[in-house]
A = this chain, B = another copy of it.
Amino acid sequence: MKIDPANKADLSAQIAKAIRDAIISGEMNVDERLPSEAELADQFNVSRSTVREALKRLAAQNLIRTRRGATGGAFVRRLSYEEAYANHVTTSTLLLSMNAVDFETACEARFALERACAPLSAARRTPDHLATMRAEIHRQSQPGLSDESFCDSDVAFHRALVDGAANPVLSYQLAGAVEAMQPLMNMITFTARSREKIVGLHTRIADALEAQDAAAADAALSELTIYTLSLGEKAMAARAAKKI
């Protein structure tokens, strides 16, 4: 880790990379303390400012945490699921918006992934998951609900479906797909009729999971996919018509 070639490119980036590699390779363990900034500056033969910039890069990636004081310093941080979730969601959102991913592609990906969870969720969902889904369905049926709240509830419902699979790795991977879709979903104005249909499909999904009927859940999800895609097309057409 002490290596640092006399490369011309961004010393702070090089140092960050060296430390990051040490962490990723397992050379440094969780909660292990890094040398102090002054010591690192000595080791790498750079100024303390440069070391600090490197450490801030690592902090931005949640790889280290710092504490002031006598026993303070920089420590290798255990990456928690919650933080990873949050990062994954914002990155996915940015990726969708910056690269102008079309609704169809995102929607297809989202539902394909969700359908992968359905069989596992049918087998393992707990009463808690079912209760969450029922509660969200109830919320979605409220007449005065704003479009934004409906979207939130939609996400919460599908999140419960995914979590029902009781596989944290799966939940993590899907968080990006489901939650990042929300801004795109907001493009679609949910009319009263489309909400009714969606709530109906959600109910079918919840029923199927309660009955532990994977095939029925898959069928309902498939219908929801098709319906959501048709809503997207309609919204696109409306937007195109408006432009002309």
Binding site for B on A (CB under 8 A): 12-13, 16, 23-24, 26, 30, 49, 52-54, 56-61, 63, 78-81, 84, 87-88, 90-99, 101, 105-106, 108-110, 112-113, 115-117, 119-120, 165, 167-170, 172-174, 176-177
Interchain CA distance A91-B175 in the complex, whole Å: 14
Q: Which residues of B lie under 8 Å from residue A23 when comparing CB positions?
A: 94
User: Could you say how many copies of this chain the assembly holds?
Assistant: 2
Query: Judging by beta carbons under 8 Å apart, are B168 and A105 in contact?
Result: yes
A78 & B60 in contact (Cβ 8 Å cutoff): no
Q: Are B49 and A56 in contact (CB under 8 A)?
A: no
15 A-B pairs (CB sep. < 8 Å): A13-B59, A26-B97, A49-B49, A53-B53, A56-B56, A56-B57, A57-B59, A60-B60, A78-B99, A80-B99, A84-B95, A87-B91, A99-B168, A112-B116, A173-B174
